[in-house]
Amino acid sequence: MANLKFRFSKQRSRTRRATRKAVAPTFMICPNCGTPVRYHNVCGECGFYKGKQAIEKTA
């Protein structure tokens, strides 16, 4: 790992960390049952993913 010529101050490091924005996850509507589901995830209500049965849900 390369050595730094100058050390970064605490304020500079903390300011950089403090300005990050938290991003809320995006949701879509399940085409099978209509509940909100996160993208690229199996629906928790019906078990469908991309129009196919991914997991078996028991009643």
Structure confidence by residue, pLDDT tens digits, 1-59: 678 888 889 999 899 889 888 888 899 999 999 999 999 999 999 999 998 999 887 76
**From the CB of residue 37, how many other CB atoms can be counted at a distance below 10 Å?**
21
pTM for the model stands at 0.56
Task: Give residue 33's pLDDT.
Answer: 92
Q: Would you say residue 54 lies in a domain?
A: yes
Cβ pair 28, 37 in contact under 8 A: yes
Q: Would you say residue 41 lies in a domain?
A: yes
The position carrying tokens 């997991």 is 55
Q: Would you say residue 17 lies in a domain?
A: no
| Beta bridge partners of residue 49, listed in sequence order | 52
Q: Which residues span the domain enclosing 52?
A: 24-59
Task: Give residue 2's pLDDT.
Answer: 79
Q: Would you say residue 13 lies in a domain?
A: no
Phi-psi label, residue 34: left if phi above 0, alpha if psi -120 to 50, beta otherwise: left
- CA–CA gap between residue 11 and residue 15 (Å, rounded): 6
Count: domains in the chain: 1
Q: Would you say residue 35 lies in a domain?
A: yes
